[in-house]
């Protein structure tokens, strides 16, 4: 097995809970040396549960520093001299107070890459910016749920995880450039970016997004969840080839072009709903997948994990979902999350 593609890269992490730790864990899985700088009380996620902490902190080292003291900040500076990047995931005021910006740290290392993961930006103040708050603030919640019911949220931390992925990308991009500097990633900007085609339709065409039943797609028909005789089925018909294969199997005539299906949305959905109610979700999946139709029965997380055993790895005493990045010839060594100050 080869060494990880990020072997030799050293990243310092100063943060709590999810977005920042998720970003650096992804880097650690790919071979980067990640040193988690924790206050004497530890990352707040240690207080949530051991399993929660493990889910975003495997493959890291931990050192304890009190950055509210001159000694702690001096020790951080010493660590910065040998690091490629520092990622901070704290309130903007704390990032400035602890000197976690490029302007504050360049005295120790001119080429250090500093990444600030915040809710609304380093200059935006300390307005609370937790994941669910950001999803509400950016239009995500308003787009989610049944149109006859209240807005709702997905059952996981979409904003934090997406911000972590974005932060890891920005950090690596600046390292590749060979220059030090300051990078900002805000949860607000990340979620607005992920509403790309919805935002473009509004900004360029004046089309305001609407919430549709069963999470129906705004451009493709039929592309949504459907009730069946047992369970729900996700069907995602985009181009006409998919429709031809689907319609031939289930016995629907007409609606042959994408434009016609969009124009006659309600008719199409009524016909498809009636047909799919004749069999179970699992049966439809078994019938349609071999034809190349994009389809899946709705599964619970335990069912999904059971169906993808290769996604689960062991890190010490923990079973976790492994890195989503698969590189030929490289298999990450999954080490357990560090004890508080274990490597100090």
Encode pLDDT of 197-249 as tens digits: 999 999 999 999 999 999 999 999 999 999 999 999 999 999 999 999 999 99
Q: What is the pLDDT of residue 230?
A: 98
Dihedral sign for Cα atoms in the order 167, 173, 178, 184? negative
Q: How big is the CA angle at 301 (ends 297 and 305), to the nearest 5 degrees?
A: 95
Closest to 125 measured CA to CA, from 37, 188, 32, 40? 188
Q: What integer pLDDT is reported at residue 261 of this predicted model?
A: 97
For residue 1, pLDDT over 70 is answered with no
Find out whether 185 and 134 touch, Cβ atoms under 8 Å. Answer: no
| Token representation of residue 185 | 């990633």
Give 46-62 pLDDT, tens digit per residue: 999 999 999 999 999 99
Average pLDDT over residues 9-29: 97
Task: Find the mean pLDDT for residues 78-91.
Answer: 97
Mean pLDDT computed over 1-29 = 94
pLDDT band at 272 (very low <50, low <70, confident <90, very high): very high
Domains of the chain: 10-194+312-321 (3.40.50.10540), 213-227+232-297 (3.30.1540.10)
pLDDT at 125: 87
Say how far apart CA 91 and CA 243 lie, in whole Å: 49
If you average pLDDT over residues 26-49, what whole number do you get? 97
pLDDT digits (tens, 9 = 90+) for 285-344: 999 999 999 999 999 999 999 999 999 999 999 999 999 999 999 999 999 999 999 998
The C-alpha atoms of residue 260 and residue 122 are separated, in whole angstroms, by: 48
Is 95 within 8 Å of 70 (Cβ atoms)?
Answer: no
Sheet containing 232-236, strands listed edge to edge, beginning at the edge strand earlier in sequence: 223-227, 232-236, 295-297
Give me the sheet containing 113-118, strands edge to edge. 60-64, 33-38, 10-15, 85-89, 113-118, 181-186
Mean pLDDT of the chain: 96
Exposed e or buried b per residue across 81-95, where buried means at least 16 C-beta atoms within 10 angstroms of its C-beta: eebbbbbbbbbbebb
Percent of the chain with pLDDT over 90: 97
Q: Which of 276, 300, 277 is nearest to 288 (CA)?
A: 276
d(CA 272, CA 266): 10
pLDDT at 2 over 90: no
> How far is the CA of 91 from the CAs of 15, 112, 124, in angstroms?
9, 21, 10
> Could you tell me which residues are beta bridge partners of residue 315?
318
Give the integer Cα–Cα distance in Å for 215 and 139: 15
């Amino acid at each position: 097995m080869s060494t990880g593609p990020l072997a030799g890269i050293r990243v310092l992490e100063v943060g709590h809970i999810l977005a920042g730790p998720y970003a650096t864990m992804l880097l650690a899985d790919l071979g980067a040396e990640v040193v988690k700088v924790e206050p004497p009380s530890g990352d707040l996620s240690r207080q949530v549960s051991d399993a929660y902490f493990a889910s975003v902190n495997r493959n890291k080292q931990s050192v304890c520093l009190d950055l509210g003291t001159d000694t702690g900040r001096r020790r951080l500076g010493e660590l910065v001299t040998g690091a490629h990047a520092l990622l901070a995931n704290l309130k903007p005021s704390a990032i400035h107070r602890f000197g976690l910006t490029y302007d504050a740290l360049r005295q120790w290392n001119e080429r250090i890459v500093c990444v600030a993961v915040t809710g609304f930006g380093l200059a935006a103040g300390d307005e609370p910016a937790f994941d669910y708050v950001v999803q509400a603030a950016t239009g995500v919640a308003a787009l989610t749920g049944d149109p006859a019911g209240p807005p709702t949220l997905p059952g996981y931390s979409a904003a934090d995880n997406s911000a972590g992925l974005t932060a890891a990308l920005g950090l690596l991009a600046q390292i590749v450039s060979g220059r030090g500097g300051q990078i900002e990633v805000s949860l607000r900007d990340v979620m607005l970016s992920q509403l790309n085609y919805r935002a473009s339709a509004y900004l360029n065409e004046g089309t305001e997004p609407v919430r549709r039943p069963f999470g129906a797609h705004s451009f493709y028909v039929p592309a949504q969840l459907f009730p069946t005789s047992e369970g729900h089925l996700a069907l995602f018909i985009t181009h006409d080839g998919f429709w031809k294969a689907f319609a031939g199997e289930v016995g629907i005539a007409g609606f042959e072009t994408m434009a016609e299906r969009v124009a006659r949305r309600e008719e199409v959905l009524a016909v498809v709903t009636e047909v799919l109610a004749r069999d179970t979700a699992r049966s439809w999946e078994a019938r349609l997948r071999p034809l190349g139709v994009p389809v899946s029965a709705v599964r619970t997380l335990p069912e999904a994990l059971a169906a993808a055993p290769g996604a689960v790895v062991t890190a010490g005493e923990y079973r976790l979902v492994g890195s989503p990045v698969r590189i030929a010839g490289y298999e990450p060594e999954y080490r357990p999350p560090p004890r508080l100050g274990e490597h100090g």
